């Protein structure tokens, strides 16, 4: 049995999409970040970083329970557990997937996430900071658009965890005031990802 602790944020949605794609039974636990539900002693016992998502698998490696943080680890773990092609067993393919998985986890997500905060939450001018973060994010969308020119998916010729890693962020391009019409390859790829039923279920509100 799986238990996923999550919230309606891009990193939380990656965990949910990975669970949905795995087809495994999973109990969802909504961790309301706005209410501080992640900074409690109870949640610290589950997530050592006090962040979402966190996954508990009662039937982990060796038949013993395992608790995992980090959406990238959770995506790879579930793909390996189910033997799914979303994370390949071939080493060369793994290297392709790892590069674009880490791009999503450590470059794209952290690069575009400040935009929604800058636009929606920071009052006042701060023109230099806004221009800096906007320029950085636009360059990341351009990188994806270049990568996706003539390709269906980011890492391999098929959908992988590297695509899941980027999808929830790009799905929020409007919040980041990014116009996807400027990035037609990204728009085509996003539409293909959003057509997957597991992605649609993974993006649905966690609290129902």
Question: What CA–CA distance (Å, rounded) separates 14 from 199?
Answer: 9
Residue 5 or 189 having the CB closest to ligand GSH: 5
Question: What CA–CA distance (Å, rounded) separates 88 from 83?
Answer: 8
User: Among 4, 5, 11, 88, which residue interacts with ligand GSH (rule: CB under 6 A)?
Assistant: 11
Stretch that binds ligand GSH, among 48-56, 94-102, 132-140, 177-185 (CB under 6 A): 48-56
User: Among 5, 26, 71, 133, which residue interacts with ligand GSH (rule: CB under 6 A)?
Assistant: 71
Task: Rule CB under 6 A: say whether 176 interacts with ligand GSH.
Answer: no
Angstrom distances, CA of residue 92 to CA of 71, 200, 207: 23, 30, 39
Mark residues 113-152: x for contact with ligand GSH by CB under 6 A, - for none.
Answer: ----------------------------------------
Residue 101 or 145 having the CB closest to ligand GSH: 101
Task: Rule CB under 6 A: say whether 13 interacts with ligand GSH.
Answer: no
Task: Rule CB under 6 A: say whether 6 interacts with ligand GSH.
Answer: no
User: Among 2, 4, 5, 9, which residue interacts with ligand GSH (rule: CB under 6 A)?
Assistant: 9
Question: What CA–CA distance (Å, rounded) separates 104 from 107?
Answer: 6
159, HSE (Cβ side, Cα atoms, 13 Å): 19
Calculate Rg over the CA atoms of the chain.
17
Question: What CA–CA distance (Å, rounded) separates 4 from 25?
Answer: 10
């Amino acid at each position: 049995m799986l238990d996923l602790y999550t919230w309606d944020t891009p990193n939380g949605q990656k965990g949910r999409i990975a669970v949905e794609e795995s087809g495994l039974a999973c109990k969802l636990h909504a961790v309301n970040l706005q209410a501080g539900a992640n900074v409690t002693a109870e949640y610290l016992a589950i997530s050592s970083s006090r962040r979402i998502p966190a996954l508990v698998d009662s039937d982990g490696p060796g038949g013993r329970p395992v608790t995992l943080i980090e959406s990238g680890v959770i995506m790879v773990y579930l793909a390996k557990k189910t033997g799914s092609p979303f994370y390949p067993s071939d080493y060369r393919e793994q290297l392709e997937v790892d590069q674009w998985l880490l791009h999503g986890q450590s470059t794209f997500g952290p690069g575009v996430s400040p935009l929604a905060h800058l636009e929606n939450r920071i009052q006042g001018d701060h023109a230099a900071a806004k221009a800096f973060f906007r320029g950085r994010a636009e360059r990341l969308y351009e990188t994806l658009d270049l990568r996706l020119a003539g390709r269906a998916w980011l890492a391999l010729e098929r959908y992988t965890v590297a695509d899941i890693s980027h999808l929830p962020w790009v799905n929020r391009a409007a919040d980041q005031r990014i116009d996807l019409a400027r990035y037609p390859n990204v728009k085509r790829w996003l539409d293909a990802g959003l057509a997957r039923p597991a992605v649609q279920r993974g993006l649905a509100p966690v609290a129902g």
